[in-house]
Amino acid sequence: MPRAVPRSSVLLALAAVVGLAGCGASEPVEAAASTAAAGDGATRYPLTIDNCGQRLTVDAAPQRVVSLDQGSTEILLSLGLGDRLVGTASWTDPVLEPLAAANASVPRLADNAPTYEVVLGTDPDFVTASFGRHYKVGGVAERARFAETGIESYLSPTDCDHGVSVNGGGKRTEPVTMDAVYAEIRELAEVFDVAARGEQLVEDLQARRAAALEGAGDSGTTVAFWFADTKAPYVAGGLGSANLLTEGVGARNVFADLTDQDWPAVGWETVVERDPQYLVLGDLARDRFPGDRLADKEAFLAADPLTSTMTAVRERNYVVLHGAEMNPSIRAVDGLEKIAAALREGSGA
């Protein structure tokens, strides 16, 4: 259970709320009215949540949090909880600009996954993750191991399918939706007793998504999402992030039939055969796989005798997204804005 700290001793950072600021550009539109209150008093403790097949119980708002992924970190920062974060990890991109100041004081435990010992060294009372791979054998630590030391753990609903973690070894059977992102925001806001901030963030994201989709028709434009790796490209399957980014804009993911994994690896012959009209390219601020960075992707596509024959490459129909915008997170709305704008421009609308 989280170790309780008197609420009066906690000073909250200003809450940075992501607002509509054009295509893919997130800016704060308002800040929390007060930094003195620890919460809005809406949460009644102990609080129990069913979280991906496990019961999570907190006796008080957590005070020392480790977030194992960029996605969950940016949610917590958007809720004005930067002062609770004692560690973050697994980043693909720079932090959202409105959250940069709050994030600057959060220790980066690792660019990818930290060790269990490093996490314990921060003395956390709560751990969050966007992807269940952190909670499996070979990851950071199983959730039961955190529980043994009195540390509650939380997994994003976007990675959960009927009580099983998709990235933790399970299989997605239903498409991920923005409702799962909204659920994560609301649940974390409830855990930390900032429910009003959570609802405001959800409303802002919903408004931006509606604006991005306004006037979108069923064009049937074909797209493929390339996250990383020039050798065997990781593309978006039909039930994961691509569903968030094509649903409503009238586009069709050419790999929608691949449902075993969110990001299956395929051969370039298959990509060329399916010949998408647009390629959505991940621009990752890391060097984990060949082709993580945009410049490397573009150079490979143009130089390779096979890929250079594709319609999207010949016409340079590229939509560039940050890695975080290609994952089911608050950044998915930024990605949707960019894709919707590119398709409108390509159609002359």
| Packed helices 195-213 and 332-347: angle between N→C axes, nearest 10 degrees | 10
Extract the residue ranges of the chain whose pLDDT is less than 70.
Answer: 1-38, 347-349
DSSP string, 263-289: S-B--HHHHHHH--SEEEEEE-SS-SS
Instruction: Return the half-sphere exposure (C-beta side, CA atoms, 13 A cut-off) of residue 43.
Output: 27
Q: Which CATH number fits domain 216-347: 3.40.50.1980, 1.10.150.120, 1.10.620.20, 3.20.20.70?
A: 3.40.50.1980
d(CA 95, CA 329): 13
Q: Measured at the alpha carbon of residue 347, what is the angle toward residues 241 and 276, in degrees to the nearest 5?
A: 45
The total of other beta-carbon atoms located within 10 Å of residue 272's CB is 17
Which structure tokens are listed for 136?
A: 């499996």
| Packed helices 178-191 and 332-347: angle between N→C axes, nearest 10 degrees | 150
Torsion from C-alpha of 279, 285, 287, 292, nearest 10 degrees: 0
pLDDT recorded at residue 47: 98
d(CA 54, CA 143): 9
Per 3-state DSSP, the chain is made up of helix, strand and coil in percentages (nearest 5) of: 35, 20, 45
pLDDT recorded at residue 165: 97
Nearest by Cα to 140 from 150, 148, 132, 152 = 132
pLDDT recorded at residue 38: 61
Domain coordinates in residue numbering, the chain? 7-210, 216-347
174: left (phi over 0), alpha (psi -120 to 50) or beta: beta
> Among positive and negative, which fits the CA dihedral 239, 242, 244, 247?
negative
Hey, do 7-210 and 216-347 end up sharing a CATH topology, with the first three levels equal? yes
d(CA 287, CA 92): 9
Superfamily (CATH H level) for 7-210: Nitrogenase molybdenum iron protein domain (3.40.50.1980)
Q: How far is CA 313 from the centre of its chain?
A: 27
pLDDT recorded at residue 346: 78
pLDDT recorded at residue 290: 92
